[in-house]
Amino acid sequence: MRYFYSSFALMILGLIAAFYLGGTGAIYITFLLIVLEISLSFDNAVVNAKVLETLDPIWQKRFIVFGLPIAVFGMRLVFPLAIVSIVTGLGLFETLQVAIDEPHRYEMILKSTETTIFAFGGAFLLMVFLDFFFQEHDIKWVTFVEGSRIVERVSGVANIELITAIMVGIALGHITQDFAIVLAFMYGVLLHSLLEMVDHFLSSDTVKSGIAGFIYLEVLDASFSFDGVIGAFALTSNIFIIMIGLGVGAMFVRSITLYFVEHQTLSAFRYLEHGAHYAIGILAIIMLMKITTHISEMVTGTIGIGLILIAFLHSLWENKKANEESL
């Protein structure tokens, strides 16, 4: 439980702040936002843990110390304000004033940009999934897919991840007939490729580059936060309550990540990483589908947690079977 002390402390402070902002109703909404963020980002914790395992301990600490303010204030407050500021042409502080005085107008402006946000975030998460899916794995989970002859042959094609993503982007362009959406999608693909390139140049043979890993984790967290930030307006238009609820949820996700790293959970449960990446792949597809179709965030969160739970239970079953065979 020691990994979660700081998260529970922050939650208590957040709920107190929410009470002063809006009474008992705000406390309830903040709690729902915390649950929403954890459900949407639980698979993020698994992938974060996998990356953190390859970083130096100093960068693991920096991910918590410096990453949390970025997650809470940067992605849950400043980033949405920046988007609205760019769309309206207002200054950042003027936009903050609009968010406080005219929350419904602020919400409408932010939601008017959600298609390009989903295209960018969906593209980045799609690349994360494809990069994992087409890698060579000693352990396979969905064997009839991962171990099929077609997948094995296709995986050997150079830049197959990039080719697949570009094909999805072209299809998205034909469906939407919107250049801004296609451009946002390609920016998401480009950003993932650039981060991989930076990591290639900065990493050693045994240790992943600290700065590249840190940036990758922050961008990954940002991609997961898009859904939560926009979905939060279904519960409240108060940007400070949204920041508190989603920020506390982000802190819990980081606590879960640390627990996974220090207990080597991914090594103990062999299919957990697979389950998380399949959940990310489905989240990417859902984000791209949301460009043209409304899909509830609760559906997204339920699918993500469900896949990880299945992977966890399957891992337990395999571990039990291996122990029985060794006796």
CB 30 within 8 A of CB 245: yes
Which pLDDT score, from 0 to 100, does residue 10 have?
87
Under 8 Å CB-to-CB from 222, ≥6 apart: which residues?
75, 79, 121
Residue among 228, 245, 242, 200 at smallest CA distance from 301: 228
CB 245 within 8 A of CB 19: no
pLDDT in tens, 208-258: 556 777 777 777 777 777 767 777 776 787 888 888 888 888 888 888 888
| Residues 46-56, mean pLDDT to the nearest whole number | 78
Judged by average pLDDT, the poorest of 64-73, 81-90, 200-209, 278-287 is: 200-209
Q: CA of 90: how far to CAs of 78, 81, 110, 230, in Å?
A: 14, 10, 13, 20
pLDDT > 80? residue 175: yes
Average pLDDT, the chain: 81
* Buried-state track 210-242, b at ≥16 Cβ within 10 A, e below 16: bebbbbbbbbbbbbbbbbbbbbbbebbbbbbbb
Q: Domain-by-domain residue ranges, the chain?
A: 2-326
Q: How many CB atoms lie within 10 A of CB 292?
A: 13
CB 8 within 8 A of CB 249: no
- For residue 114, name the pLDDT band (cuts at 50, 70, 90): confident
Share of the chain above pLDDT 90, in %: 10
